[in-house]
Amino acid sequence: MPLEELTGLLTPLPRFRAAQIFKWIAGGVCGFAEMGNLPLSLRDELAGRFLLRPGVVEEQYPGDDGTVKLALRFDAASKIEAVLLPGHSRRKAAPGGYTACLSTQAGCPAGCVFCKTGALGFLRNLSSAEIVEQFLLLRKIAQENAGPPGEAPGRPIANIVVMGMGEPLLNLAELRRALNVITSPGGMDFSRRRITVSTCGIAGGIIDLADNGPAVRLALSLTSADESLRRRLMPLTKSHSLADVKEACAYFQKRTGGRITLEVVLLGGINTSREDAAGIAQFAGNIDAVVNLIPWNPVPGLAFEGMPLHSPSAEEVKVFKGYLESLGMNVTCRFRRGRGVMGACGQLGALSVH
Active site residues: 81, 345
Sign of CA dihedral 297, 299, 305, 311: positive
154-157: long-range contacts, CB 8 A cutoff, minimum separation 24: 155/95, 155/96, 155/97, 155/98, 156/97, 156/98, 157/84, 157/97, 157/98, 157/99, 157/100, 157/190
Terminal C-alpha separation, the chain? 37
Q: For residue 335, what are the CA distances in angstroms to 109, 130, 146, 152, 280?
A: 27, 28, 22, 26, 21
In the chain, the largest separation of any two C-alpha atoms, in whole Å, equals 69
Which of 134, 206, 216 has the alpha carbon at shortest distance from 170? Answer: 206
Pairing of strands 195-199, 56-62: unpaired
d(CA 317, CA 80): 31
Answer whether 86's CB lies under 8 Å from 336's CB: no
Count of alpha carbons within 13 angstroms of residue 196, beta-carbon side = 19
Say if residue 308 is preceded by a cis peptide, omega within 30 of 0.
no
Sheet strands (E) in 122-212: 122-125, 157-162, 195-199
CA 163 to chain centre: 3
Pairing of strands 79-85, 68-73: antiparallel
State the Cα torsion 37-40-45-51 to the nearest 10°.
50
d(CA 211, CA 348): 30
Give, as one character, the DSSP assignment of residue 281.
H
